[in-house]
Chain A
C-alpha cells in the first residue's frame, strides 16, 4: 500500500508578464487502488498539478509538500520521481525522432528496474499489451510519437503505463481528442493496469465522458487553483448535468 500526500501546495509559473500563481493551496491524498478524478474548467490549474507532481522545470513550487510514502518528492529530479513509482501520461506526448518505440520502452524499463528486462518475457509482454490496445505491431519499429495520430499517441502513453508498472499514474486529459472507440480502448488499458498492479490513479479531465469507463472513487472539482468541492462519483454526474457554471459564478461573487 502506497500513498501520495499533497499538502497546501502553492505553485507558480514564469510568464512574460512575470510570476503568475496557479495553484493556491491544494490538499489531496491518493492511495493505491484508488481512482481520483480531478475536474474543472480550463485554466483552473489541473494540468499544473499534473506537471508539478512529475517535476516539470517550468513550474515553481512556492510552498507546500508532496510526499510519496513519506519521501519528499519535490526534492527529487524528474527521473528519480519516475523511478520512485510515479507516471505521467501526457496530454501532448512529445515526438522523439530517431528513437523507436521498442528502444524507448526497453531503455525506460531498464532505467526503472536497474537492469535490462529478460528479452523473451519482455517481447511477449510488449506484444500482448499492444494487442490489447489495438496497436498494430508495426508501431514497435516506429519512432516515438512521430507521425502518430492523436489517438495513437494516447494509446502509446497507456502502453507505457501497462509495461512500466508504476505505483501511481497521473493521466493528464488522456481522454481529450479521442473518439469513443479509442476512449474505450484506452480506458480498458487503465483498468487493466489497476487490476494487475493496484495502481493509484489521478485522472485529470475536463469532461465526464471518460468516467463512464474509468469509475472514480473520489471526485475533486478544481476552481482557480483550489479544490472547490469534493465528493464521490455522484458529483461527476451532477457536473455532467450542470457544468462548471455554478463554481465559476461563486468565484466571481466571492
Chain B
C-alpha cells in the first residue's frame, strides 16, 4: 500500500484555482445575506446605477438619472386627508425623531430623496376602535421630486389607511411604517398615476411585538413604477400580510420587490402578489426576498407570485428567494407561476353558454379579484374592480396568447 502525502500537492502555486487570477476582483465577495445590504441616507454612499446590480437588473435605469442623481424638489405638496378620531396628519422637519424610525435607504434614489426632502408628512394613529383614513395626492407635477412619509400606529391602535396617488409624477420617495406593540394596521397604497409618470418608492415597515400589518400595493397606472416594500418583523409574534396587484399595459414597467425579514420568534408572513399583462412591451417584475434570521424561531412564512399573460409581447419576471438561518421554523415556502389562460376554465365557462370573450374577462377579473377582496374597504374595492374592468375593456381578449 502506498501512502501519498497530499499536503505537498496542495501547493498554492500549483493547482489551478488556488492562485488569484490576474483579472483582480478576488477581494469581492457577493453579499451573503439580504440583511447585509448597505443602508445609508447619504446618496454618495451608493454608486451610480448601471443596471447590472442585482436589485436593478430588470429596471430601465437610464430613465432614472434625474431621480437617482439630480436635484429634487423636496418641499411639501398638496395633499388631502380625511378626518378620523385619534389620527393626526402634519408636515414635520426631517430632524424629527420619527424620521428613520423604521429603516434607512438601501438604494441610491431612496437616499437621494431622503437627503433632499425638506419636510416629511407624518400620520400618527392612536385609539383601539377601527377607522379608515384616506390620503390623496394628485398634483405632484412632472418635475423631479423627493418625498417622505412616516406612518406611526401607536400601541394597540387600529386603522385602515389608504394612500392614493394619481396625476403626473416624477417622484422618488420613502414611506416609513411603524407598527407598535399590539397595533393592527392596514396600509393600502394605490399607484394610479397618469401614463407618463415615473415613480420610485421604498416602503419600510417595522412591526413590533404582537402587531399586525396588512400591506397592500395596487399598481395600475404610470410609465415606470417601482415600489419596494421592506417589511421587518422585529417583535415576537409579529405578523405581516403583504398583498399586491398590478396590471401592466403596453409599454408599462411595473416592479415590486418585497423583502420580508423575520427577525423575532413566532413571527408570521404571507406574501401574495398577482399581476396581469397585456400589450407589446408590458413588463412586470416581482422579486420576493424572505430572510428568516437566527432569532426567528417558530417562524411561519409563505410567499407567492402569479402572473397572467393576456397577450403576446409581454414579459413577466418573477424571482422568489428564501434564506433560512435557523433550524427551528414552523414553515417556509414559496411559489411562482406565470401562465396563459387556463383552457379548462374557459371550456367550463363556455359550456354554460358564456362567450369566449366574456369567459376570458371573467377569468382575468376573478384572478385579480382575489387580492381586491382582501383589502377590507368596500368603496375602494368597488372602485378598483371598476378600474380593472376599464383596463379589460381597452383590449380584445380574443387575440390568442397561446
Digit string of B347-360 for contact with A (CB within 8 Å is 1, else 0)? 11111111110110
Consensus secondary structure, chain B interface: helix
A94 touches B345 (CB 8 A): yes
Q: What is the CA–CA distance of A99 and B358 in the complex, to the nearest angstrom?
A: 13
B370 / chain A contacts, CB cutoff of 8 Å: 97-98
Q: What is the CA–CA distance of A93 and B366 in the complex, to the nearest angstrom?
A: 17
A99 touches B362 (CB 8 A): yes
A56 / chain B contacts, CB cutoff of 8 Å: 347
| Shortest CB distance B373–A (Å) | 7
| Shortest CB distance B175–A (Å) | 28
A107 / chain B contacts, CB cutoff of 8 Å: 354, 358, 362
Q: A94-B345, A107-B362 are in contact. Are A79 and B355 (CB under 8 A)?
A: yes
Q: A94-B344, A96-B345, A111-B358 are in contact. Are A54 and B351 (CB under 8 A)?
A: yes
State which of A78, A79, A90, A96 has its C-beta within 8 Å of the C-beta of B363: A96
B 357-402 contacts with A by CB, 8 A: 358-359, 362-363, 365-370, 373
Please, which residue of chain A has its CB at the minimum distance from the CB of B306? A97
Give the size category of A's interface with B. Answer: 20 to 34
B353 touches A108 (CB 8 A): yes
Interface size of B by Cβ–Cβ distance < 8 Å? Answer: 25
| Shortest CB distance B218–A (Å) | 15
State which of A55, A93, A94, A164 has its C-beta within 8 Å of the C-beta of B353: A164
B348 touches A79 (CB 8 A): no
Digit string of A61-104 for contact with B (CB within 8 Å is 1, else 0)? 00000000000000001110111000110100111111100001
A79 touches B362 (CB 8 A): no
A88 touches B351 (CB 8 A): yes
Q: Is B343 an interface residue (CB 8 A)?
A: yes
B 311-352 contacts with A by CB, 8 A: 342-345, 347-352
Q: What is the CA–CA distance of A79 and B351 in the complex, to the nearest angstrom?
A: 5
The 8 closest A-B pairs by CB, nearest first: A98-B366, A98-B369, A82-B353, A78-B350, A108-B352, A99-B366, A112-B353, A111-B353
Write the residues of chain A forming the contact surface with B, with a CB cutoff of 8 angstroms: 54-57, 77-79, 81-83, 87-88, 90, 93-99, 104, 107-108, 111-112, 143, 160, 164
Write the residues of chain B forming the contact surface with A, with a CB cutoff of 8 angstroms: 342-345, 347-356, 358-359, 362-363, 365-370, 373
Q: 25 A-B Cβ contacts within 8 A?
A: A57-B343, A77-B350, A78-B351, A78-B356, A79-B354, A79-B355, A79-B356, A81-B351, A87-B352, A90-B351, A94-B347, A94-B348, A96-B362, A96-B363, A98-B365, A98-B366, A98-B368, A98-B369, A98-B373, A99-B365, A104-B352, A107-B362, A111-B353, A112-B352, A143-B366
